[in-house]
Amino acid sequence: MNRRGLLALSSLIILAACDTPDEVSEIEVEETIVEEEEAEPSISETETHDEESSNLTDQDDEEMVEANPVIDSAEEHVFINLVDAETFFNEQGAAAWDDYQNILKEVTLSELSVEEEMGGSTSEEVDAAFQSVTSIEDSVSDFVDVTENEQMVIYRYPANDETNEMAEYSAELTFYFYDDHLIFTAITPGFYSVDLEGLPTTEELAHFMTVSEIEALDSKVYTVAEMIVLGDVMHQTMVPAMGIDEEGNEVVSAFYFFTRGDDIIQFAHLPFELPSIDFPTYSIILFQEIISTLEGV
């Protein structure tokens, strides 16, 4: 089975990666112009050769319009063995992870591409779920109007007793809404560090096929996120890796896996310095690229 990889760099070159290094094809993408004050990374579409990804497009449209529970109440998160107090830095981060899993059992996601039938949880319902599960009394919430139709709600877990503008946060839960319907969820670290010793290479990770292989890395985790893609929940996680830039220099990369069940469906990697500015935003951007690619299959 072949799988496609996405690579976002400043030059906007994307690699379509298969199972062996000899089958990697390079696709040049025309550069996109963006306004300076709102500059965002541009990620462009490439052809997919993933048999499983192709099969995702064969579903009935009628199956995509209902709101989807993120995690069934009787099930555990697919990354349950990937995130703990060691891989998510500290006990406060681990507490946020517990809250995040419990919230996902209470709320539903809506698929962004099915706007006329959206039924995901509202921001009020998500806030009620958060308040009912969290054990952290001094968490800080932030409601941000992104556009007229889009809102981002962030719950921050303080790393100490400070809750002012200079406070450090151990973890953040992010919920993104379109017309007040939940379409995206994520948990990311607040403050963090990256240990460069012993990092896997992007080439090594590109050969991974299962979540079990990611677990075996025992790596720090910098993003866990979920969206509905073609009618079903797709999970995303990001770990650090060593990559090579256009000039042949070794750089720290953010390597994203997109999964369903134990299967890795797709992957993406880009310089770590880009998503480190705003982990949730880059998570959403990469999800949008995945959606665009799969809808074009």
Residue 49 lies in a domain: no
**Which is more confident, 32 or 162?**
162
Joined together, the tokens standing for residue 115 give: 């706007």
Q: The whole model's pTM is what?
A: 0.78
Instruction: Give the other-Cβ count within 10 Å of 137's Cβ.
Output: 5
Residue 287's CB is within 10 A of a number of other CB atoms, namely 25
Residue 51 lies in a domain: no
- Residue 254, in any domain of the structure: yes
Q: What integer pLDDT is reported at residue 61 of this predicted model? A: 44
Domain range for 72: 62-279
Residue 91 lies inside a defined structural domain of this protein = yes
Mean local confidence (pLDDT), 27-48 = 32
**Scanning the structure block, which residue is given the tokens 């039938």?**
117
Residue 285 placed within a domain? no
Q: Is residue 19 part of a domain?
A: no
For the segment 186-196, what is each residue's pLDDT rounded down to a tens digit?
999 887 888 88
140-145 and 150-158 beta bridge pairing: antiparallel
Task: Please report, for residues 36, 46, 122, 179, 296, the alpha-carbon distance to residue 113 in angstroms, rounded to integers and kept in the order given.
Answer: 28, 19, 17, 13, 13
The answer to whether residue 137 sits within a structural domain is: yes
What is the pLDDT, as a whole number, of residue 88? 82
Distance (Å, whole) CA 5 – CA 2: 10
In a domain, 68, yes or no: yes
Specify the pLDDT at position 180: 94
The total number of structural domains in the chain stands at: 1
